[in-house]
Amino acid sequence: MSETEEHTRILLRRFADNSATEAEISELLELLRLPEGDAMLHSFIIELGNQTNLYPSQIKVDWENMWNGVKKVTQPAIVRKMVWRKIAAAAIIILMLGAGLIWFTNNKKQDNIALNEKPKIKNDVAAPNTVNAVLTLGNGQRIILDSTGNGTLATQGPVQIIKSGDGQIAYKGNSDETVYNTLLNPRGSKVVNITLNDGSKVWLNTESSLRFPASFTGDERKVTVTGEAYFEVTHNEKKPFIVDVSGTEVKVLGTHFNIHAYNDESNIKTTLLEGSVEVSVPSSSLLEGVGVRLKPGQQAIKTGDGKLTINNNVVIEDVMAWKNGLFNFNNADIQDIMRQASRWYDVEVIYEGTPSAERYKGKVARNTSLAEMMKILELNGVKYRIEGKKIILSQ
């Protein structure tokens, strides 16, 4: 244990025992702002948790009242379920408006099959309903977003990091230093939204990350992305916004665009909604540098072998389905579908035998549970079973 840690621990003890002076308390609060301070606080809390003495018996707590306050959080879900049960089978259009209902077709069957009842399945995986993104600061300190309240989470010098709601953070302030932070949105987490200190907004899908400076300095605004992200970049001619996606650079000229670049997929897709971007692959010893400029509605695809092509027939709604709470399958095969499901539900997919080559088309609400989503595939001929965090598909 370092001296600082030792000292912090001593002050924590004195503070807890009511024997600390005002000066010592002030000092303790300063020490707690250091990374070692956090760790000491955590271990001290665990220590206290193991002790048997509690609190002055003169203090009376109305536990029933506290429970009532806590119970309120459980109630919206109950109301939703009550309403659900009362809705009988209805037309497809009405069902699409409800939460978690689905419309799906495949090549063989011509009818649209709609699910109108909640199946009772034992081993099921719920859709994520929180954002458990992790923010790593310049000094390595990690903040798990969903376990903190709103307000200032931390600072990076003069830059403040503020949480304004579930899955929403913003960087405010300017600094001369370039300190890199990383926002990682893991599997099984909802979409997280971050506003960078220049006002640009980024939405991260599941299993995605964004590496960015707390404050943009210099004459370029450069960030790095993995997975899938949607950007709304503020216009600044003097400081072009550049996104680096494993070697592909997207240079932004004030605009809205979506980047799709998962490690387990060979293609990187950049889709432009508004404004203009230039997608380029810098030259390396193996490939010549190559670039394309996109117009709104176009998509640049960089294939595994480094070739860059433009897709003019992209449906923006389909590309942005993830941000709007939907899965979108457009001529997708089982493996495409299961890859998305595995990220969202954070499950491992195992195929017994060769997966079928059958193609599917449809939209599924993301807040359904895994079993509900699979039920639809099942009605379309897919066999599966869920075991804990694994889903096994068979012919």
Partner 1 sequence: MPTAISYSDKILFQKIASGDVEAFREIFDLYKKRLFAIAIKLSKSQLVSEEITQEVFISLWVSRALLIKVEDPGAYIFRILYNKLNSYLRKESNHSRLIKDAVQFKNFYNNNTEEAVDVNETMRRINEAVEKLPPQQKAVYRLSRQKGMKNDEIAAELKISPNTVKTHLSKALEAIRTHLDDVAFVTSLLACFNEYSHLLK
Residues, the chain: 395
Which residues are bridge partners to 261 per DSSP?
227
Minimum gap (Å) between residue 34 Cβ and partner 1: 11
Q: Which of residues 82-141 bind partner 1 (CB under 8 A)?
A: 82, 85, 122, 125-130, 132
Told to check if 78 binds partner 1 by CB under 8 A, we report yes
If binding is defined by CB under 8 A, does position 165 make contact with partner 1? no
- Interaction of residue 52 with partner 1, rule CB under 8 A: yes
Distance CA 169, CA 153 (A): 9
Question: Considering the rule CB under 8 A, would residue 148 count as an interface residue with partner 1?
Answer: yes
In the bound state with partner 1, the residue whose beta carbon lies nearer, of 272 and 346, is 346
Q: Residue 112: which residues within 8 A CB-CB, separation 6 or more?
A: 92, 103, 104, 105
Helix (H, G, I), strand (E, B) or coil at 157: coil
Q: What angle do CA 77, 365, 268 make, to 5 degrees?
A: 135
Residues 210 and 225: beta-carbon distance below 8 Å = yes
Q: Are 146 and 208 in contact (CB under 8 A)?
A: no
Q: How far is the CB of 16 from partner 1 (least distance, A)?
A: 4
By the rule CB under 8 A, 176 interacts with partner 1: no
Binding partner 1 by CB under 8 A: which of 2, 49, 88, 176? 49
Residues 220-259 that bind partner 1 (CB under 8 A): none
Q: Name which of 180, 191, 183, 263 is nearest 222 in CA terms.
A: 180
Stretch of residues binding partner 1 (CB under 8 A), selected from 77-85, 92-100, 200-208, 332-340: 77-85
Q: Which of residues 339-368 bind partner 1 (CB under 8 A)?
A: none
Tell me the sheet residues that pair with 259. 229, 270
Q: First vs last Cα of the chain: how many Å apart?
A: 57
Q: How many CA atoms lie within 13 A of 271 on its CB side?
A: 20
Give φ, ψ of 392 to 5 degrees. -115, 120
The reply to whether 58 sits near partner 1 by the rule CB under 8 A is: yes
**77 forms part of the interface with partner 1 (CB under 8 A):** yes
Using CB under 8 A, pick the residue from 3, 46, 313, 353 that binds partner 1: 46
Q: Please report, for residues 235, 349, 363, 386, the alpha-carbon distance to residue 124 in angstroms, rounded to integers and kept in the order given.
A: 45, 14, 20, 7
Q: Smallest gap, in angstroms, from Cβ of residue 96 to partner 1?
A: 24
Residue 67 or 265 with smaller CB distance to partner 1? 67
Least CB distance from residue 145 to partner 1, whole Å?
Answer: 10
Q: Is 10 in the site for partner 1 (CB under 8 A)?
A: no
Q: Is 120 helix (H, G, I), strand (E, B) or coil?
A: coil
- Summarize as ranges the residues that interact with partner 1 (CB under 8 A): 15-18, 20, 22, 25-26, 29, 32-33, 38, 41-42, 45-46, 48-50, 52-59, 61-64, 66-67, 69-71, 73-74, 77-78, 81-82, 85, 122, 125-130, 132, 144, 146-149, 151-154, 188, 389
